[in-house]
Amino acid sequence: MAWRRACGRTDVDDGEAMQTEWEPPVAVFNVDREFFALADTCTHDESSLADGYVDGDIVECAWHFAKFSIRTGAVLSPPATRPVCAYQVRITGDDVMVDVPESGESA
C-alpha cells in the first residue's frame, strides 16, 4: 500500500464526492468534513460511486440504486452483493491522502 494525494481538502464539499484519475479510480467522500475513500467502481456493474447520491454516510449507486456504507464499503441494499474496498484516509496539511494498493498489489 502507498499513500497518494487524492485531492485538496477544499476540493470536495460536505456531502459530495469526487473520483480520482488513477486506475482503478477511488471515490473520495466528505461526510461532515470527515473524509472517506472507497473503490469507485460499483460491485454490481461498472458505475462510478462518486457519481452516486450521497445521503449522510451512505452512497446510493446512480445506475441501479445499490447502497453502500461510505465508512466501511459494506453493501446496505441490493442489487450489489459484494462490498467495495474501503481505504484509509489521512489529512496532511491541505491534502487528502489515501492509502491505496501499489500497482500489482491486490486491495
Instruction: Show the binding pattern over residues 57-86: x = contacts ligand FES (CB under 6 A), - = does not.
Output: ----x-xx-x------------xx------
Give the integer Cα–Cα distance in Å for 98 and 91. Answer: 9
Instruction: Show the binding pattern over residues 24-63: x = contacts ligand FES (CB under 6 A), - = does not.
Output: ------------------x-xx-x-------------x-x
Q: 105: helix, coil or strand?
A: coil
Q: Which of the residues 6 through 25 are near ligand FES (CB under 6 A)? A: none
Q: 26: helix, coil or strand?
A: strand
Give the integer Cα–Cα distance in Å for 18 and 70. Answer: 13
Give the integer Cα–Cα distance in Å for 41 and 9. Answer: 22
Site for ligand FES, rule CB under 6 A: 42, 44-45, 47, 61, 63-64, 66, 79-80
